[in-house]
């Protein structure tokens, strides 16, 4: 999509972002429902402890992925609310506008690129 070079989100851009967010939300919710159903349907006996361990490891990995997706679903819903309240492209840290190209690449972002870089630098120094 070609973005208008202004801080204000146009009606066309709003529709574009909302469609993008709703598509992401739909795909994630569909996938999480499938995982829950698969786990309910799986009732296996494992005579070999190694097979059981592999199954448990795969299941734990799937659950971690679903947990990340659950968190992303919350972020998407929050982004839709911000879009409806005309706060979608405002950085929560500094109050400056988030560039539309950044929103296109990461539709759930709440930080402008400068604040995100500062956050990442702080995380790196805390890990050392």
Q: In sequence order, what are the residues at sequence separation of 6 or more whose Cβ sits closer than 8 angstroms to the Cβ of residue 24?
A: 72, 76, 107
Residue 54 CA to residue 47 CA, distance in Å, equals 13
Q: How far apart are CA 66 and CA 49, in angstroms?
A: 25
Q: Which two tokens stand for residue 59?
A: 């299941």
Enter the tokens of residue 89. 């492209």
Residue 12 confidence (pLDDT) above 80:
yes
Q: Say how far apart CA 111 and CA 102 lie, in whole Å.
A: 9
* Whether 73 contacts 59, CB under 8 Å: no
CATH tag for 9-88 (out of 1.20.1060.10, 3.40.50.10380, 1.20.120.910, 3.40.50.1100): 1.20.120.910
User: Where along the chain do its domains lie?
Assistant: 9-88, 89-128
- pLDDT confidence of residue 73: 96
pLDDT tens digits for range 54-100: 888 988 998 899 899 999 999 999 999 999 999 999 999 999 999 99
**pLDDT confidence bin for 20, thresholds 50/70/90:** very high
To the question of pTM greater than 0.85 for the whole model, the response is: no
**63 or 17, which is more confident:** 17
The whole-angstrom separation of Cα 2 and Cα 116 is 24
The neighbouring-strand residues paired with 90 are 97
99 three-state secondary structure:
coil
Mean pLDDT computed over 17-21 = 97
Higher local confidence (pLDDT), 10 or 6: 10
> How confident is the model at residue 1, as a pLDDT?
72
Bridge partners (DSSP) of residue 97 are 90
């Amino acid at each position: 999509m070609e973005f208008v070079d202004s801080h204000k989100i146009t009606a066309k851009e709003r529709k574009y972002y909302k469609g993008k967010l709703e598509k992401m939300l739909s795909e994630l919710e569909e996938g999480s429902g499938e995982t829950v159903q698969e786990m309910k349907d799986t009732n296996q006996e494992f005579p070999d402890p190694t097979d059981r361990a592999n199954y448990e490891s795969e299941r734990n990995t799937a659950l971690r992925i679903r947990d990340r997706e659950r968190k992303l679903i919350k972020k998407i819903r929050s982004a839709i609310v911000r879009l409806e309240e005309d706060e979608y492209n405002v950085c929560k840290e500094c109050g400056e506008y988030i560039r539309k190209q950044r929103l296109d690449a990461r539709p759930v972002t709440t930080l402008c690129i400068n604040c995100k870089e500062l956050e990442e630098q702080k995380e790196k120094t805390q890990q050392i």
